[in-house]
Amino acid sequence: MKKIAALLAIWAGLGLTAQADTVILSEGASYTGQFTGTVIHFKDQQGIQYTFPKADVQTLAFNASVDTVTLRNGKSYTGHFTGTDPINFTGAEGIQYQFPVHDIESLVFNSAGSIAPVPQHAKVIPFGTDVVVRTDETIDSTNTQTGQLYRAVVTEGVPDAAGGVAIPA
């Protein structure tokens, strides 16, 4: 069995695309809307300071010991977010929020920067949720290529933030 990050499994596996930024709180709640800053300030583990344009950032994940910023070009940096605390965020419904950094698990950025309405039937899976799958074919590292796809079956239902089932087994 393999464990796959729920957020990536949903976007990659189901082909969904985000139309708004998403802030995911440590307790599991999430909000769609727009991060109101234009840059991300970050200091890596060697002490080098970076200022990344928001459009270049794909995700920002917070952890008690180290934060990770992942850029759209695939590069990742570990260190610490050094931007404004609390983080300002405008929800899809126009409500202004301020989230303390210690309450945030991750920020997922939309490249378009536009806010789209959240569908009423949308399911929210908390960041870090494991998706347990069983592959239906042999995976042999000596005969694979980058980007190669494999068939798999979700073996355990994946819960959503409201306690329902987002992805059935």
DSSP string, the chain: -EEEEHHHIIIIIH----SSEEEEETTS-EEEEEE--SEEEEEETT--EEEEEGGGEEEEE--SS-EEEEETTS-EEEEEE-S-SSEEEEETTS-EEEE-GGGEEEEE--SS----PPPTT---PPTT-EEEEEESS---GGG--TT----EEE-S-EE-TTSSEEE--
What total number of domains does the chain contain? 1
Supply the pLDDT for residue 13: 35
Each residue's pLDDT tens digit in the chain (169 positions)?
333 333 333 333 333 333 588 888 888 888 888 888 888 999 999 999 999 998 888 889 988 889 999 888 888 899 999 998 898 888 888 888 899 998 998 888 876 544 445 556 667 777 778 889 898 888 888 887 766 777 888 899 988 877 888 888 9
CB of 53 closer than 8 Å to CB of 39? yes
Supply the pLDDT for residue 119: 58
In single-letter form, the type of residue at position 93 comes to E
User: What is the full DSSP assignment across 111-153?
Assistant: SS----PPPTT---PPTT-EEEEEESS---GGG--TT----EE
169 in a structural domain: no
Q: Which residues pair with 47 in a beta bridge?
A: none
**Could you tell me the residue range of the domain that residue 46 belongs to?**
2-164
Supply the pLDDT for residue 114: 44
Q: What is the pTM of this model?
A: 0.55
